[in-house]
Amino acid sequence: MVEPTESRTPPPLVEEGFRGKVALVTGAGSGLGKAVATALANEDAIVVCADIDEGAGRATAEQLGASFTPVDVADLDSNHAAVQFAVDTHGGLDLVHLNAGIASPFGLGDDFDAEGYRKAMSVNLDGVVFGFHAARPALLARGGGSVVATASLAGLAAMPVQPVYGTNKHAVVGLVRALGPAHAHEGIHVNAICPGFADSKIIDPIRDMLGAGGVPIIPAQTVADATLRLFADTDAHGELLVIQAGNEPYYYKFRGLPGAR
Ligand SMILES: NC(=O)c1ccc[n+]([C@@H]2O[C@H](COP(=O)([O-])OP(=O)(O)OC[C@H]3O[C@@H](n4cnc5c(N)ncnc54)[C@H](O)[C@@H]3O)[C@@H](O)[C@H]2O)c1
Protein backbone atom coordinates (compact mmCIF):
# COMPACT_ATOMS: atom_id res chain seq x y z
CA MET A 1 0.00 0.00 0.00
CA VAL A 2 1.28 3.46 -0.86
CA GLU A 3 1.77 5.62 2.22
CA PRO A 4 1.39 9.38 2.01
CA THR A 5 4.93 10.48 2.79
CA GLU A 6 4.69 14.03 1.56
CA SER A 7 1.96 16.57 1.97
CA ARG A 8 2.68 18.77 -1.05
CA THR A 9 -0.33 18.90 -3.31
CA PRO A 10 -0.74 20.73 -6.61
CA PRO A 11 -2.05 24.28 -6.14
CA PRO A 12 -5.67 25.11 -6.99
CA LEU A 13 -6.44 26.24 -10.53
CA VAL A 14 -5.91 29.86 -11.51
CA GLU A 15 -8.92 31.47 -13.18
CA GLU A 16 -8.62 31.42 -16.99
CA GLY A 17 -5.28 29.58 -16.70
CA PHE A 18 -6.16 27.22 -19.59
CA ARG A 19 -7.95 29.74 -21.83
CA GLY A 20 -6.69 29.42 -25.42
CA LYS A 21 -4.13 26.71 -24.63
CA VAL A 22 -4.02 23.94 -27.22
CA ALA A 23 -4.27 20.51 -25.57
CA LEU A 24 -3.80 17.08 -27.18
CA VAL A 25 -5.38 14.20 -25.23
CA THR A 26 -4.72 10.58 -26.28
CA GLY A 27 -7.37 8.00 -25.41
CA ALA A 28 -9.94 10.82 -25.36
CA GLY A 29 -12.70 8.55 -26.62
CA SER A 30 -13.37 6.98 -23.25
CA GLY A 31 -12.86 7.01 -19.50
CA LEU A 32 -10.14 9.18 -18.02
CA GLY A 33 -9.07 10.74 -21.32
CA LYS A 34 -12.63 11.75 -22.09
CA ALA A 35 -13.00 13.25 -18.60
CA VAL A 36 -9.74 15.21 -18.93
CA ALA A 37 -10.66 16.43 -22.43
CA THR A 38 -14.03 17.58 -21.05
CA ALA A 39 -12.47 19.32 -18.05
CA LEU A 40 -9.96 21.13 -20.30
CA ALA A 41 -12.74 22.21 -22.69
CA ASN A 42 -14.73 23.49 -19.70
CA GLU A 43 -11.70 25.63 -18.80
CA ASP A 44 -11.71 27.08 -22.35
CA ALA A 45 -8.71 25.13 -23.63
CA ILE A 46 -8.70 24.23 -27.34
CA VAL A 47 -8.86 20.45 -27.20
CA VAL A 48 -7.68 17.90 -29.76
CA CYS A 49 -9.17 14.47 -29.01
CA ALA A 50 -7.00 11.60 -30.24
CA ASP A 51 -7.89 7.92 -30.15
CA ILE A 52 -7.43 4.68 -32.07
CA ASP A 53 -11.19 4.20 -31.80
CA GLU A 54 -12.36 6.78 -34.33
CA GLY A 55 -16.05 6.48 -33.45
CA ALA A 56 -15.49 7.07 -29.74
CA GLY A 57 -12.88 9.79 -30.25
CA ARG A 58 -15.05 11.68 -32.73
CA ALA A 59 -18.04 11.39 -30.40
CA THR A 60 -16.10 13.04 -27.55
CA ALA A 61 -14.86 15.76 -29.89
CA GLU A 62 -18.35 16.48 -31.21
CA GLN A 63 -19.75 16.65 -27.69
CA LEU A 64 -17.09 19.19 -26.70
CA GLY A 65 -16.95 21.20 -29.92
CA ALA A 66 -13.34 19.99 -30.12
CA SER A 67 -11.36 18.53 -33.01
CA PHE A 68 -10.41 14.88 -33.53
CA THR A 69 -7.43 13.08 -34.96
CA PRO A 70 -6.97 9.32 -35.18
CA VAL A 71 -3.84 8.04 -33.47
CA ASP A 72 -2.21 4.74 -32.66
CA VAL A 73 0.06 5.76 -29.80
CA ALA A 74 2.12 2.59 -30.29
CA ASP A 75 3.32 3.95 -33.64
CA LEU A 76 5.88 6.78 -33.78
CA ASP A 77 4.72 8.17 -37.14
CA SER A 78 1.14 8.21 -35.92
CA ASN A 79 2.18 10.30 -32.89
CA HIS A 80 3.99 12.74 -35.18
CA ALA A 81 0.86 12.99 -37.34
CA ALA A 82 -1.36 13.72 -34.33
CA VAL A 83 0.96 16.51 -33.16
CA GLN A 84 1.14 17.91 -36.70
CA PHE A 85 -2.66 17.91 -36.86
CA ALA A 86 -2.84 19.96 -33.63
CA VAL A 87 -0.27 22.45 -34.91
CA ASP A 88 -1.80 22.74 -38.39
CA THR A 89 -5.35 23.07 -37.07
CA HIS A 90 -4.78 25.28 -34.03
CA GLY A 91 -1.41 26.96 -34.60
CA GLY A 92 0.59 25.20 -31.88
CA LEU A 93 0.58 22.90 -28.89
CA ASP A 94 0.82 23.69 -25.16
CA LEU A 95 -0.52 20.71 -23.21
CA VAL A 96 -0.28 16.97 -23.88
CA HIS A 97 -2.01 14.22 -21.97
CA LEU A 98 -0.32 10.91 -22.89
CA ASN A 99 -3.13 8.83 -21.50
CA ALA A 100 -4.15 6.02 -23.88
CA GLY A 101 -3.62 2.61 -22.32
CA ILE A 102 -4.81 -0.97 -22.14
CA ALA A 103 -5.01 -3.69 -19.51
CA SER A 104 -2.97 -6.89 -19.68
CA PRO A 105 -5.01 -9.57 -17.90
CA PHE A 106 -2.49 -12.41 -17.95
CA GLY A 107 0.52 -13.58 -15.98
CA LEU A 108 3.79 -15.22 -17.00
CA GLY A 109 2.64 -18.76 -16.28
CA ASP A 110 0.43 -20.98 -18.44
CA ASP A 111 -1.75 -18.00 -19.23
CA PHE A 112 1.16 -16.02 -20.77
CA ASP A 113 0.24 -14.19 -23.95
CA ALA A 114 3.41 -13.19 -25.82
CA GLU A 115 1.53 -11.09 -28.37
CA GLY A 116 -0.50 -9.43 -25.61
CA TYR A 117 2.76 -8.65 -23.79
CA ARG A 118 4.25 -6.84 -26.80
CA LYS A 119 0.99 -4.99 -27.40
CA ALA A 120 0.66 -3.87 -23.77
CA MET A 121 4.26 -2.63 -23.65
CA SER A 122 3.89 -0.82 -26.97
CA VAL A 123 0.67 0.99 -26.08
CA ASN A 124 1.37 1.77 -22.42
CA LEU A 125 5.11 2.48 -22.59
CA ASP A 126 6.00 3.26 -26.23
CA GLY A 127 2.87 5.42 -26.31
CA VAL A 128 4.44 7.74 -23.73
CA VAL A 129 7.96 7.56 -25.21
CA PHE A 130 6.78 8.26 -28.78
CA GLY A 131 4.17 10.77 -27.65
CA PHE A 132 6.72 12.85 -25.76
CA HIS A 133 9.30 12.68 -28.55
CA ALA A 134 6.73 13.75 -31.14
CA ALA A 135 5.31 16.59 -29.04
CA ARG A 136 8.58 18.16 -27.82
CA PRO A 137 9.41 20.28 -30.91
CA ALA A 138 5.89 21.76 -30.95
CA LEU A 139 6.10 22.55 -27.22
CA LEU A 140 9.54 24.14 -27.69
CA ALA A 141 8.12 26.30 -30.49
CA ARG A 142 5.73 27.79 -27.89
CA GLY A 143 8.56 28.34 -25.38
CA GLY A 144 7.60 25.26 -23.35
CA GLY A 145 4.53 23.40 -22.22
CA SER A 146 3.20 20.71 -19.95
CA VAL A 147 3.02 16.95 -20.49
CA VAL A 148 1.12 14.61 -18.18
CA ALA A 149 1.40 10.84 -18.63
CA THR A 150 -1.20 8.53 -17.17
CA ALA A 151 0.72 6.00 -15.06
CA SER A 152 -1.17 4.26 -12.25
CA LEU A 153 -0.91 3.22 -8.62
CA ALA A 154 0.20 -0.02 -10.32
CA GLY A 155 3.35 1.96 -11.24
CA LEU A 156 4.13 2.49 -7.56
CA ALA A 157 2.83 -0.68 -5.90
CA ALA A 158 3.05 -4.34 -6.92
CA MET A 159 0.10 -5.62 -8.97
CA PRO A 160 0.44 -9.42 -8.87
CA VAL A 161 -2.75 -10.02 -10.88
CA GLN A 162 -1.44 -8.06 -13.89
CA PRO A 163 2.37 -8.15 -13.73
CA VAL A 164 2.82 -6.84 -17.28
CA TYR A 165 0.54 -3.87 -16.62
CA GLY A 166 2.47 -3.18 -13.42
CA THR A 167 5.74 -3.41 -15.35
CA ASN A 168 4.84 -0.89 -18.03
CA LYS A 169 3.32 1.51 -15.49
CA HIS A 170 6.49 1.29 -13.33
CA ALA A 171 8.42 2.05 -16.52
CA VAL A 172 6.27 5.13 -17.16
CA VAL A 173 6.97 6.27 -13.59
CA GLY A 174 10.73 5.85 -14.11
CA LEU A 175 10.56 7.59 -17.46
CA VAL A 176 8.66 10.60 -16.12
CA ARG A 177 10.97 10.93 -13.10
CA ALA A 178 13.88 11.16 -15.54
CA LEU A 179 12.22 13.36 -18.18
CA GLY A 180 10.97 15.91 -15.64
CA PRO A 181 14.39 17.22 -14.63
CA ALA A 182 15.88 16.50 -18.08
CA HIS A 183 13.53 18.93 -19.85
CA ALA A 184 12.93 21.51 -17.11
CA HIS A 185 15.50 23.88 -18.65
CA GLU A 186 13.44 23.85 -21.87
CA GLY A 187 10.35 25.02 -20.00
CA ILE A 188 8.71 21.63 -20.56
CA HIS A 189 6.99 20.08 -17.54
CA VAL A 190 6.77 16.29 -17.57
CA ASN A 191 4.75 14.64 -14.80
CA ALA A 192 2.42 11.68 -14.28
CA ILE A 193 -0.83 10.87 -12.57
CA CYS A 194 -1.04 7.64 -10.60
CA PRO A 195 -4.75 6.90 -10.07
CA GLY A 196 -6.16 3.98 -8.13
CA PHE A 197 -9.17 2.11 -9.55
CA ALA A 198 -11.19 4.71 -11.43
CA ASP A 199 -14.49 4.61 -13.25
CA SER A 200 -13.83 3.61 -16.88
CA LYS A 201 -14.39 0.61 -19.10
CA ILE A 202 -10.88 -0.71 -18.37
CA ILE A 203 -12.12 -1.94 -14.97
CA ASP A 204 -15.33 -3.53 -16.32
CA PRO A 205 -13.92 -7.09 -16.16
CA ILE A 206 -13.11 -6.66 -12.44
CA ARG A 207 -15.84 -4.21 -11.44
CA ASP A 208 -17.92 -6.86 -9.64
CA MET A 209 -14.89 -8.19 -7.80
CA LEU A 210 -13.93 -4.68 -6.68
CA GLY A 211 -17.49 -4.03 -5.55
CA ALA A 212 -17.59 -7.32 -3.61
CA GLY A 213 -14.31 -6.41 -1.93
CA GLY A 214 -15.60 -2.96 -0.97
CA VAL A 215 -12.95 -1.21 -3.05
CA PRO A 216 -14.10 2.35 -3.75
CA ILE A 217 -14.01 3.44 -7.40
CA ILE A 218 -12.73 6.95 -8.10
CA PRO A 219 -15.05 9.02 -10.32
CA ALA A 220 -13.36 9.91 -13.64
CA GLN A 221 -14.16 13.56 -12.90
CA THR A 222 -12.03 13.40 -9.73
CA VAL A 223 -9.08 12.14 -11.78
CA ALA A 224 -9.66 14.89 -14.35
CA ASP A 225 -9.78 17.64 -11.71
CA ALA A 226 -6.48 16.46 -10.22
CA THR A 227 -4.92 16.16 -13.69
CA LEU A 228 -5.73 19.79 -14.49
CA ARG A 229 -4.12 20.88 -11.23
CA LEU A 230 -1.00 18.95 -12.22
CA PHE A 231 -0.99 20.51 -15.71
CA ALA A 232 -1.13 23.93 -14.08
CA ASP A 233 1.57 23.39 -11.43
CA THR A 234 4.45 25.58 -12.58
CA ASP A 235 6.80 24.00 -10.01
CA ALA A 236 6.21 20.37 -10.99
CA HIS A 237 8.95 18.47 -12.85
CA GLY A 238 8.99 14.67 -12.69
CA GLU A 239 6.22 14.50 -10.07
CA LEU A 240 3.92 11.51 -9.54
CA LEU A 241 0.47 12.61 -8.47
CA VAL A 242 -1.24 9.91 -6.41
CA ILE A 243 -5.01 10.00 -6.86
CA GLN A 244 -6.72 7.62 -4.48
CA ALA A 245 -10.32 7.43 -3.33
CA GLY A 246 -11.02 9.49 -0.24
CA ASN A 247 -7.60 11.21 -0.24
CA GLU A 248 -6.47 14.63 -1.35
CA PRO A 249 -4.15 14.10 -4.38
CA TYR A 250 -0.51 14.36 -3.31
CA TYR A 251 2.95 14.00 -4.83
CA TYR A 252 4.53 10.66 -4.08
CA LYS A 253 8.08 10.68 -2.76
CA PHE A 254 10.45 7.73 -3.01
CA ARG A 255 12.77 6.97 -0.11
CA GLY A 256 16.32 8.19 -0.74
CA LEU A 257 19.10 5.74 -1.55
CA PRO A 258 22.27 5.55 0.51
CA GLY A 259 25.28 7.25 -1.08
CA ALA A 260 28.24 5.14 -2.28
CA ARG A 261 30.93 4.46 0.33
N1 LIG B 1 -9.48 3.28 -14.85
C2 LIG B 1 -8.57 2.94 -13.97
O3 LIG B 1 -8.84 2.32 -12.94
C4 LIG B 1 -7.15 3.37 -14.19
C5 LIG B 1 -6.29 3.50 -13.09
C6 LIG B 1 -4.98 3.88 -13.31
C7 LIG B 1 -4.55 4.16 -14.58
N8 LIG B 1 -5.40 4.01 -15.64
C9 LIG B 1 -4.88 4.34 -16.97
O10 LIG B 1 -5.71 5.36 -17.50
C11 LIG B 1 -5.52 5.41 -18.91
C12 LIG B 1 -6.86 5.57 -19.59
O13 LIG B 1 -7.60 4.36 -19.41
P14 LIG B 1 -9.13 4.36 -18.99
O15 LIG B 1 -9.19 3.85 -17.61
O16 LIG B 1 -9.76 5.63 -19.32
O17 LIG B 1 -9.65 3.16 -19.94
P18 LIG B 1 -10.59 3.19 -21.21
O19 LIG B 1 -10.48 1.82 -21.77
O20 LIG B 1 -11.94 3.69 -20.83
O21 LIG B 1 -9.92 4.24 -22.21
C22 LIG B 1 -8.73 3.98 -22.91
C23 LIG B 1 -8.79 4.71 -24.24
O24 LIG B 1 -7.52 4.52 -24.90
C25 LIG B 1 -7.77 4.21 -26.27
N26 LIG B 1 -6.65 3.45 -26.83
C27 LIG B 1 -6.32 2.17 -26.59
N28 LIG B 1 -5.26 1.82 -27.31
C29 LIG B 1 -4.90 2.91 -28.04
C30 LIG B 1 -3.87 3.17 -28.98
N31 LIG B 1 -2.98 2.22 -29.35
N32 LIG B 1 -3.77 4.42 -29.50
C33 LIG B 1 -4.67 5.37 -29.16
N34 LIG B 1 -5.68 5.18 -28.29
C35 LIG B 1 -5.78 3.95 -27.73
C36 LIG B 1 -9.07 3.41 -26.25
O37 LIG B 1 -9.69 3.38 -27.53
C38 LIG B 1 -9.87 4.15 -25.19
O39 LIG B 1 -10.63 5.19 -25.75
C40 LIG B 1 -4.76 4.14 -19.27
O41 LIG B 1 -3.39 4.46 -19.46
C42 LIG B 1 -4.92 3.28 -18.04
O43 LIG B 1 -3.89 2.34 -17.90
C44 LIG B 1 -6.68 3.63 -15.47
Q: Is the CB of 193 under 6 A from ligand 1?
A: no
Residue ranges of domains in the chain = 22-249
Give me the CATH topology for the region 22-249.
Rossmann fold (3.40.50)
Residue 44: strand, helix, or coil: coil
Q: Is the CB of 152 under 6 A from ligand 1?
A: yes
Q: What atom in ligand 1 is closest to the CA of residue 73?
A: 32
Is pLDDT of 4 > 80? Answer: no
Interval 231-259: pLDDT, tens: 999 999 999 999 999 999 999 999 999 99
Q: What is the pLDDT of residue 6?
A: 53
Q: Is 165 a catalytic residue?
A: yes
What percent of the chain clears pLDDT 70, i.e. is strictly above it? 97
> In DSSP terms, which residues pair with 137 in a beta bridge?
none
d(CA 188, CA 133): 12
- Count the neighbouring beta carbons within 10 Å of the beta carbon of residue 6: 12
Q: What is the pLDDT of residue 7?
A: 62
- Count the neighbouring beta carbons within 10 Å of the beta carbon of residue 217: 16
Average pLDDT, the chain: 96
Q: Is the CB of 202 under 6 A from ligand 1?
A: yes
Q: Is the CB of 10 under 6 A from ligand 1?
A: no
pLDDT band at 2 (very low <50, low <70, confident <90, very high): very low
Q: Whose CA is nearest to atom 30 of ligand 1?
A: 72
Q: Whose CA is nearest to atom 1 of ligand 1?
A: 198
Q: What atom in ligand 1 is closest to the CA of residue 165?
A: 43
Q: Whose CA is nearest to atom 43 of ligand 1?
A: 101
Q: What is the pLDDT of residue 8?
A: 84
| DSSP label at residue 197 | S
Interval 200-221: pLDDT, tens: 999 999 999 999 999 999 999 9
Interval 61-102: pLDDT, tens: 999 999 999 999 999 999 999 999 999 999 999 999 999 999
Q: Whose CA is nearest to atom 7 of ligand 1?
A: 152
Distance 179 CA to ligand 1 centre (A): 22
Interval 29-56: pLDDT, tens: 999 999 999 999 999 999 999 999 999 9
Question: Looking at residues 127-147, what average pLDDT do you find?
Answer: 98
pLDDT band at 11 (very low <50, low <70, confident <90, very high): confident
d(CA 146, CA 232): 8
Q: Is the CB of 31 under 6 A from ligand 1?
A: yes
The pTM is what? 0.97
d(CA 119, CA 248): 33
Q: What atom in ligand 1 is closest to the CA of residue 195?
A: 6
Q: What is the pLDDT of residue 164?
A: 98
Distance 125 CA to ligand 1 centre (A): 12
The overall longest dimension of the chain from CA atoms, in Å, is: 60
d(CA 18, CA 16): 6
Q: What atom in ligand 1 is closest to the CA of residue 72?
A: 32
Distance 116 CA to ligand 1 centre (A): 15
Is pLDDT of 224 > 60? Answer: yes
Q: Is the CB of 26 under 6 A from ligand 1?
A: yes
Comparing CA positions, the residue from 242, 219, 213 lying closest to residue 229 is: 242
